[in-house]
Structure 1
Amino acid sequence: MKVLIFGATGMVGQGVLRECLLADDVSVVQTVGRTATGQAHPKLRELVHRDFLDYAAVQDQLQGFDACFFCLGVSSLGMTEADYTRVTYDFTLAAATALARLNPAMTFVYVTGAGTDGSERGRIMWARVKGRTENALKQLPFKAVYLFRPGVIQPLHGVQSRTGWIQRTYTVTSPLLSLARSLFPHTILSTQRIGQAMLEVARSGAANAVLESRDIEEAARRGEPQEAMQ
């Protein structure tokens, strides 16, 4: 399987990249972002591309992929709806529209969030914009589109948030998160489990297009390496 990852330098994207590089059935992992990840691995290729609204100049490097894991996103804190829409909706749809044309047999997995408003009419700005993005993605002619809606996420294996206050929060609460995740595995996810779940739905699909935290955890369990399950 050949996969693309958008947002591989973000917290979720770092975890997804790690799982893709570890997976035996993934032969090529290509990241797409404004900066390289700085990692080196025989499977890894990195495409540095700064215009997230236009992929015409690099379309030859975006063909031949089986799956795309779209982890690019920002916090809505302090953003206007117009600015948040540009990053969340416009950037996502520009990439997805290009990929659907270049790779119609691709599975596209988008990281959205718990509480996303599919009606697009709710009072919470970020939830409306995420809902609009989800609805537009479902209309694109991919083989399949899956929408991941995680809630609380624990970074593992050295994964860090690039947002300072968020990383400080994770550092302080890490012991509590580990305990809470052991008690409530279907509510609190880790970056590792999200990556495993993405790979599993790319391989085998899922019953529903929208996966909440419980569904993501169950997909991750199905996708665990067999030796880890023994």
Structure 2
Amino acid sequence: MSKSLATKIRAIVTGATGMVGEGVLHECLLHEDVEEVLIINRKSSGVTHPKLKEIVHKDFQDFSPIEAQLKGYNACFFCLGVSSVGMKEDEYYKLTYTLTLHVAHTLAKYNTDMTFCYVSGASTDSTEAGRLMWARVKGKTENDLMKLPFKQVYNFRPGAIEATKGLKNVLPYYKYLSWLFPVIKLFAPNAVVKLKEIGIAMIKSVTKGYEKPILEVSDIKTLAAR
């Protein structure tokens, strides 16, 4: 890539009290290329580590009270998200598109050297015109993130996610369906990705870059293995 890539990462992680965010944070705290992590949560994560700083902030639609604390970072791993089940489109749009773009606009204003990684989802609709509501909203979110003046934007589209053992924020149904993952991987290897691979791939997207802005499961695995 033409731009020089970061050798040491100062990352902001959102969603660290959820399964994906906790897993990504876990990999950041372990990885030698990550020197500092800031997590922003609505409630305290309870995690302590020499690399870690935490801001508890209730309103993700208004970052103005904490803007001064968001300068000087070169990565954002945006793992905050909600399920569309039972939601009307306007509500899901506000909690997915509007929230994400507000955070991204704020970060882009102060961190033009930033790599922004967004956790989207398999089957996201880049045309923004498909039948599935959540896929259209996610597609618009991806498209508009890529228009912002970040150094790099990567949209991660995991399928089924194999949780990292020992972490506490595993979604309840994963505990009961984990036995299915070996079967799914046997017949559809690119339908399942390890949470560890997502975290490592995000870190490597900052230090190594990737040739595509949208990373499907096969891409996530490829980048994690580099």
Partner letter of residue 217 of structure 1?
Answer: K
Partner letter of residue 194 of structure 2?
Answer: S
SS in 2 for 1:186: helix
Aligned: 1:54 with 2:62: yes
Q: Give the C-alpha shift of residue 36 in structure 1.
A: 1.7
Aligned: 1:144 with 2:152: yes
Aligned: 1:34 with 2:42: yes
Aligned: 1:188 with 2:192: yes
- Cα distance in 2 for partners of 1:200, 1:182 equals 27
- Cα distance in 2 for partners of 1:184, 1:23 equals 30
Counterparts of residues 107-146 of structure 1 (less than 5 Å): 107-146=115-154
Is the CA contact 1:185–1:217 (under 8 Å) kept in the aligned structure 2? no
- Cα distance in 1 for partners of 2:124, 2:204 equals 23
- Cα distance in 2 for partners of 1:101, 1:178 equals 44
SS in 1 for 2:161: strand
Residue 26 of structure 2 is matched in structure 1 by 18
Aligned: 1:158 with 2:145: no
Residue 66 of structure 1 is matched in structure 2 by 74
How many residue pairs end up in the alignment? Answer: 218
Q: Give the C-alpha shift of residue 160 in structure 1.
A: 4.8
Is the CA contact 1:6–1:69 (under 8 Å) kept in the aligned structure 2? yes
- Cα distance in 2 for partners of 1:160, 1:78 equals 25
SS in 2 for 1:206: coil
Residue 214 of structure 2 is matched in structure 1 by 210
Q: Give the C-alpha shift of residue 60 in structure 1.
A: 1.3
Residue 90 of structure 1 is matched in structure 2 by 98
Please identify, of 178-187 and 16-25, the stretch whose mean Cα deviation from structure 2 is larger. Answer: 178-187
Is the CA contact 2:27–2:200 (under 8 Å) kept in the aligned structure 1? yes
Q: Of the candidates 173, 176, 184, which is equivalent to residue 180 of structure 2?
A: 176
Give CA-to-partner distance per residue, 1:52-96, whole Å, 9 cap, x none.
112111111101001000000011000010110011001100000
Aligned: 1:197 with 2:206: no
Extract unaligned runs of 5+ from structure 2.
1-8
Partner letter of residue 106 of structure 1?
Answer: M
Q: Give the C-alpha shift of residue 185 in structure 1.
A: 4.5
Is the CA contact 1:181–1:189 (under 8 Å) kept in the aligned structure 2? no
Partner letter of residue 61 of structure 2?
Answer: L
TM-score (norm 2): 0.92
Q: Of the candidates 51, 70, 75, which is equivalent to residue 43 of structure 1?
A: 51
SS in 2 for 1:27: strand
Taking every aligned residue pair, what percent have the same amino acid on both sides? 48
Q: Give the C-alpha shift of residue 182 in structure 1.
A: 6.8
Is the CA contact 2:22–2:169 (under 8 Å) kept in the aligned structure 1? no
Please identify, of 32-41 and 97-106, the stretch whose mean Cα deviation from structure 2 is larger. Answer: 32-41
TM-score (norm 1): 0.91
Give CA-to-partner distance per residue, 1:23-63, whole Å, 9 cap, x none.
01211111011012101111111011111112111111101
- Cα distance in 1 for partners of 2:186, 2:63 equals 42
Extract unaligned runs of 5+ from structure 1.
223-230
Partner letter of residue 52 of structure 1?
Answer: F
Query: What is the Cα-based RMSD across aligned positions, in Å?
Result: 1.5
Residue 225 of structure 1 is matched in structure 2 by none
Is the CA contact 1:16–1:191 (under 8 Å) kept in the aligned structure 2? yes
Q: Of the candidates 11, 14, 20, which is equivalent to residue 6 of structure 1?
A: 14
